[in-house]
Structures are given as C-alpha cells and as structure tokens.
Structure 1
C-alpha cells in the first residue's frame, strides 16, 4: 500500500519541490544551485525506476527486482531526502519541509517493509526449492526390488572389496 500511495504522492512532491526551487533559486549560492538541480534530476530518474522495481518485485514476487527496489530506496533516495530536509543552507521553506517529511516517512517505512518482505520471500523460495529437490530425489530413488530377500535370493548382497581385489557381489 505504501508503494501505491507513493506513486500518487511523488508527482505532488516533485511539483512542490520544483516550484519552491524556482522561487528560491536567485537567493541560493552557486554550488547549492548546482546541487539542487542535480538532486532533482537524480531523484526523478531514480524514483521512477525504484517504483517500477517495487511494483514488479512485490506483485510478481521477484527477489532481484525487490532487492533493487530496497537498495535504491536505502542508498540514493533516503540520504538525498534527508539532505534536503536537514541542510539549512538550502533555505528550506515550511511547505517544502512538510513534503520532505512525508516523503522521508514513505522511504523509511519502505526500507523496513522491503527488508522483511525480502527475507520472508527468500525463505519461502528456498523452502520451495528444497521441497522440489527432495521430490526430485525421491522420484529418482529406486523402489524395493522384486528379487530381494523375500524373493528367495541371498540375503548377503554386496560385500564390498575384499583382500583378493575387487570382485563382483556374491549371490
């Protein structure tokens, strides 16, 4: 559900952030201008990829996509939003602070939820793999033969290698 609401919140966040950036752009120093424009481009591209991976990984239960979503949330997105939220050199507007807090809450919740979902998904897939392998091995295992001890043949079976060299099993 967090991903669903994030899809609708992100365009709102982007519009508010770009509008406030446009208003405060003339009063920012040159390096903050460069940093903010770079951040907006990076966040925009990363967020589109991140949300796509989250939907595919979650709905189709694909571990690599969900792991990519988790990593993109944890590494570039969350630190960038925290930078935008707590760096006072950016001359943060109150509306901007409010939308950054909501976005940071979404990201924080998604990092935790994706971690536990990944862990559960990997454990489930590993158990399914082990069960499949067990059934495959059970099918390959030979059943009881008709010429066993109850069938009248010798009960001694294979005796292994002997002192005289490798010989065939005694009948």
Structure 2
C-alpha cells in the first residue's frame, strides 16, 4: 500500500522546496567522500519515538474515551460535538500518521515521511493541544497526563523528522548530481538506430584501440594517439 501518485508528486515537490540545502551547488568532496552512496539515512531516534508512540496510542485512546464517557453528561452540547469529532479525527490521523512514519523512515521514502511530518505538525499537534489547553472541556487529571505525554511525542517527532527529511533529501540530491557528473565524465555515443549504446557495445570502453581513441581514468581527460 502506497500513496497515490499525484499526492506523491506534490509531497516530493514540497520536500525539494523546503528541505533541500540550496547552498550546495554540487557534490562537496569534503563531506561526500565520507558518505557512501548506499549509506542508510533512516533516523534511529525517530524510529524509537514511533515505536513507543505506537505502544502508547492505545492507552491514550482508552483513557480519553473513558474520561469522555464520564464527563459527557455535564458538558455543553457544542463541546460534546467537538470532543467526539476530535476523537474520531485524531484517531484516524494517528493511524495514518504512524503508518507513513514507519514507511518513510524505514524505507527512506521522502513523500511518506513528508506526509508524516505535515500531519504531525499541522493536524495532530493542534488537536492535542486543544484537548490539553481548553479548560472548558473539564479536563481530568488522567486526560491532562496522557495529553502531555502525547504532545511530547509529537514535538520530538516533528523536530527529528525534520532533520531526517533534510538529510534524506540532500542525499538524494547529491546522488542525482553525482550521476549527472558521471554522465558528463563518461559520455556514450549514440548508435545508428538512434538509441544509446551500452559499454559492452563500445569497443574503446573496454580498452580496445578501435578508432584510435584510448580513455584514461581521469574524469574529463582522454588521450588521442597520433
């Protein structure tokens, strides 16, 4: 199960706009030499927070539902409607949010992780803060305690997910730039049929003296026999 393609494109565009380091115009040898191309960029702190959040969520949900049932008769009608609506929406958001967080972090998928970050910051966090800070809801001590823990989880995940997204997007941009530089360093001529030839089809790519050209290991240089 994955995000719809239009949503993935929009989240990818959003990630490139927000999390890309625009000061980097090309691969930096001082930092990229120590970063292998297949380095894992998944965030261990984020994964631990997601795991504990997943364990905590059922306890938060049961506590909130029990407290809502106990104080429901004494609440005004509009607060009854607001609380029930928030409980339903926040429960659905939390399931989707945790799923996107696991998928995005473990599989290093930028759109999923960006969706997790947006849901955490702009939907779930304001809803839980409303439940925590609105005294008109007749907040009980158990509710206050579980909401505080939930807010701590959300704030920590927003910060760590932002750093993980920034690192992930910049590594993807670096890989793309390295591929572009590699294509410029090793241009392959086109075949007669209009399609590009592979290295196996090009005699001088494997050291053959055909056509009097011998490439060297230097990036842009090439030696031409007299």
User: Structure 1-normalised TM-score?
Assistant: 0.83
Q: Distance in 2 between matches of 1:49 and 1:133?
A: 36
| Cα offset, 1:136, TM superposition | 2.3
Match of 2:184, SS state, is helix
**Which residue number corresponds to residue 161 of structure 1?**
none
User: Structure 2-normalised TM-score?
Assistant: 0.63
Query: Unaligned regions of 5+ residues in structure 2, if any?
Result: 1-47, 190-203, 205-210, 214-222
**Deviation per residue, 1:31-85 (Å, 9 max, x gap):** 0000000000000100000000000000000000000000000011000000000
Q: Which of 140, 152, 156 pairs up with 2:187?
A: 140
Which has more helix, going by share of residues?
Answer: 1
**Which residue number corresponds to residue 47 of structure 1?**
94
**Which residue number corresponds to residue 15 of structure 1?**
62
Query: Unaligned regions of 5+ residues in structure 1, if any?
Result: 152-171
Q: Which of 109, 114, 121 pairs up with 1:67?
A: 114
User: CA RMSD, aligned part only?
Assistant: 1.9
Alignment of 1:1-171 (within 5 A): 1-140=48-187, 146=212, 151=226
Work out which of the two has the higher radius of gyration on C-alpha atoms and give 1 or 2.
1
Greater relative contact order, per chain length (Cα 8 Å cut-off, separation 6+): 2
| Cα offset, 1:150, TM superposition | 5.6
